[in-house]
Structure formats: C-alpha cells, structure tokens
Amino acid sequence: MSEEFDKLVGIIKRLRAPGGCPWDRKQTLYSLKQNVIEEVFEFIDALDRKDIDNIKEELGDMLLHIIFHSVIAEENSLFELKDVINGVSEKLIRRHPHVFKGLKVNGVEDVLRNWDEIKQTEKHKQETHYLDNVPKSLPSIERALKLQQKANKVGFDWENEQECFEKVKEEFEELQEAIDSKDKNSIESEIGDLIFALINLSRFFNINPSEALRKTSLRFENRFNCIEDSLKKEGKTLKQAGLEDMEKRWQKCKEYESKKY
C-alpha cells in the first residue's frame, strides 16, 4: 500500500515540476474548487448506480485532489501531506473516546452526542453565532438540512411531524397568495420557505431530502426517456409530439414502471 501511495504522490509532484504538465503547473490551491465539487458528485452518481468499477475510479479521483492540494500547499510552505494525514488520524482518535480511551457509551446516539461536544471544543476560530460553522458553500438543500439539525440540538424545533406538516400547508397557502399578487420577489421568498419547510418535514421522517429529490429526478429522466423511445419506434421526434400525446405516453411509462416493481 505504501509503495502505491508513494508512486501516486511522485506522479503528481512530477506533473507539478519544471518540464511537467502546463495545466497542472498552472493550478493553485484555490483554482480547483469546481473540479473537487464535480468529482464528489460523480462519486455520488456512481454510488446511486451501484457501479463498483466507477466507485473505485471516482475514489481515486478524489484521492488525487487531496494529494494535489497537499502538494501545492507544500510548495507554498503552508502544510504538508503528512500534516493532513496526521490531522485526520488525531481527530478520529479524539472523537472516538469510546474506542481509544475506554469511554462507555450506550449506542449510536451517545456516540453522535460525544462527537458534537468534542467538535465544539476543537473550533479553530471564535464564532460569533451558533450556526456560523455551517458552511455557506454547501448545496442549498444540504445547508438547509444542516441548519435545521443544529437548531434541533438546542431545542429549536417542531414537537412532531404533524406540526411540521401544518407548517408546510401554511407555506403553501402563503405561496398561493404571493402568486395571486404577481409579486416576483414574494413568490421567490415563499417558494424558498416552502422548500425549507419540506426539508424540515423530511427530517422528521428520517428521509434525506437531497436523496429523495435525486430519486425523483431519476424517475423523471427515466419516464421522459421512455416517452422518447416510444416516439422513435413510430419514427417521431419529441418536437413532433404534442403535449397531450406526450402526457398519454408518460402515463403508460409510469404504469409500466409500477409493474416492474
């Protein structure tokens, strides 16, 4: 394992060295942000498809970025790869006292509570507000969920799923009022409030809202592809089909889908 790891580090350093790859040499610690985000989502896509070969490949791509960033940081005397590895090793030991220090726990809830309490003591900067450490760069659904989860830990939450569902209905009614007013800013605000309330509701049912939306998008894609395939069999294109025709085909695709499962 060490030999393979050292080989990968050596390849990346060679790409960054004089006479290496112009693109790799041009990158900075901050220029690869979008690339990292894309690799994470490609990994998630491979997980969704349970594509083991692709999962392996995408893990390699993410490992590449960890080493790449660390090599760039070392070149600029900021930190080294060993600092990254030692840092996460120490964090894992610190946050698992029930494994490494003999602390008694009664289950997963105790583990998570201890993790959060230890994490609070590790803050590298003084935060003005309790929610400050929820990254603003998180995708919107994930950030909303994280904010709600943190608020829950200090008791700011609905009592049960029914109260939360009533909030969803209230936000839906407010959205209708905004639509009637034809005020675009109000419509945008109320759409945001409704989505936020739905994310809250999903949390009460232990459903990941991002995962739920991903599955819905996949169903939409599969059914739309089904419409397109049925049209192709008749020598037609999507543009040649009217809305009514496509809706009928959609319902047939939906019915076929339900029979499959």
Position 260 confidence tier, pLDDT thresholds 50, 70, 90? low
Neighbours of 193 (CB within 10 A): 18
Has residue 183 got a pLDDT over 90? yes
Q: pLDDT at position 130, please?
A: 86
Has residue 126 got a pLDDT over 90? no
Q: Tell me: domain 2-79, CATH 1.10.287.1080, correct? A: yes
Q: What percent of the chain has pLDDT over 70?
A: 97
For the chain, the domains span 2-79, 86-122, 140-207, 211-260
CATH number assigned to the domain covering 140-207: 1.10.287.1080
Q: pLDDT at position 86, please?
A: 95
Average confidence score pLDDT of the chain: 92
Has residue 112 got a pLDDT over 80? yes
Has residue 124 got a pLDDT over 60? no
Q: pLDDT at position 1, please?
A: 64
Q: What is the pLDDT of residues 49-61, one digit of tens each?
A: 899 999 999 999 9
More confident residue, 156 or 122: 156
pTM higher than 0.85, yes or no? Answer: no
What distance in Å separates the CA atoms of residue 248 and residue 227, rounded to the nearest whole number?
A: 9
Q: Which 8-state DSSP code applies to residue 157? A: S
Q: Of 148, 150, 141, 156, whose CA–CA distance to 119 is shortest?
A: 150
Amino acid at 230: S
Residues 6+ away with beta carbon under 8 Å from 99: none
Q: Of 36, 56, 27, 47, whose CA–CA distance to 211 is shortest?
A: 47
Position 48 confidence tier, pLDDT thresholds 50, 70, 90? confident
Asked, colleague to colleague, whether 2-79 and 140-207 share their fold, the answer is yes
**Mean pLDDT computed over 217-245:** 93
